[in-house]
Each structure stands twice: as structure tokens, then as C-alpha cells.
Amino acid sequence: MPPHNRFKVSVTKDHIVFASAHFITFAGHRCETLHGHNYRTRVTVEGGVDPETHFVIDFAELKQMMKRLVDELDHRVLLPLQNPKVDVKEQGDSVTVAYEGAPRYVFPKRDCALLPVPNTTVEMLAQYLAGRARRELERTAGHTVNIAAIEVEVEENFGQSATYRESLE
Ligand SMILES: [Zn+2]
């Protein structure tokens, strides 16, 4: 893609939010207690403009796509499926969570988002959402030609965020 035909378009945080509960584990034997955040996200798509429409991607389409992805997390407990210290098991309509072998929580399954991440840090949430967004964009024919990268920022408190960039080139 020629450098003069590269743009960045963003949909910012106020449109793409989710309120979720989580806890993270630290090095050693420390684990947070359950608490919540009003997470805010920003998605940025980098690419060339379409010669007919002169946009990289339709904002409405980008917003709807991200809204769908964060709605899966909204009002749920975010649980990591790849954390070696946290054991998450589905049992009927429940999800049981143990930390270092000791039972800790039982949640209704419908209130949980089981995520393929090692810890529910903003870094891992940003990477997860960027990967989901990339696959969504790749499913939509025509876009992959123009899109060079996708970037997702997840903020858990004001001024405290992580950004992950995934290149499609
Ligand atoms: Zn937290």
C-alpha cells in the first residue's frame, strides 16, 4: 500500500463501553478479589481509502462491530481460561472458579464471559478484542484489501489503559 494512501480512523471510548467484574493474578501467590470496572475502548483501523467512497471503513459498521464484541463482555464476570493458577469449570448452569486448588467462586454461567486469555489485564483484553475485530473484518469481503492494521485500546480507569496493535499485512 503506498504510504500516501494510508489513513487511521478511530471510534473512541464513549461509544464502546462495558461494565464487567474481574480479578487478576500477580506473580507469586497474590490474587485480587473480585471487583468491577467501567471499561472504555477505542478501536483504530489503519488502511487505504476506498477509491469510490474515500473512506477506510464505514464508521457505522465499525461501531456496530465493536459494540457487538463488547456486548458479549458487558455485565459479566470476565474469567481467564488460560491462567495456570485459576481453574474455571463449567458445571451445568454454573461456572466454578478455584484459585491454586482452593474453591473460590460459583457464578451462573449466563453471567460469565469465559475468555481465551491467561489473565484479564487490559493488555490481554485489548489483544483479545483486536483479534476478534480482525476476524470480523476479514469476514467482510472487500475490507481486507484496504486494511493494514487494527488497534484496540482498553481503559479500565481514567488514564489507565493498554493498546494492542495487530498488523494485517
Ligand atoms: Zn481490575
pLDDT tens-digit series, residues 36-84: 999 999 999 999 988 888 889 999 999 999 999 999 999 999 999 999 9
Marked catalytic residue, from 46, 153, 155, 156:
156
Instruction: Give residue 4's pLDDT.
Output: 65
CA 160 to centroid of ligand 1, rounded, Å? 11
Marked catalytic residue, from 31, 123, 136, 166:
31
Residue 78: φ, ψ to 5°: -90, 120
pLDDT tens-digit series, residues 110-146: 999 999 999 999 999 999 999 999 999 888 755 556 7
Instruction: Give residue 143's pLDDT.
Output: 54
Residue 35 falls in the annotated catalytic set: no
77 bridge partner residues: 21, 112
Residue 156 falls in the annotated catalytic set: yes
Instruction: Give residue 50's pLDDT.
Output: 86
CA 110 to centroid of ligand 1, rounded, Å? 21
Instruction: Give residue 138's pLDDT.
Output: 85
Instruction: Give residue 90's pLDDT.
Output: 97
CA 24 to centroid of ligand 1, rounded, Å? 7
CA 111 to centroid of ligand 1, rounded, Å? 17
Instruction: Give residue 82's pLDDT.
Output: 98
Asked if the model's pLDDT at residue 89 lies above 90, the reply is: yes
pLDDT tens-digit series, residues 6-47: 999 999 878 799 999 999 999 999 999 999 999 999 999 999
Question: What's the residue count for the chain?
Answer: 169
Marked catalytic residue, from 32, 72, 75, 90:
75
Residue 112 falls in the annotated catalytic set: no
CA 137 to centroid of ligand 1, rounded, Å? 29
Asked if the model's pLDDT at residue 157 lies above 80, the reply is: yes
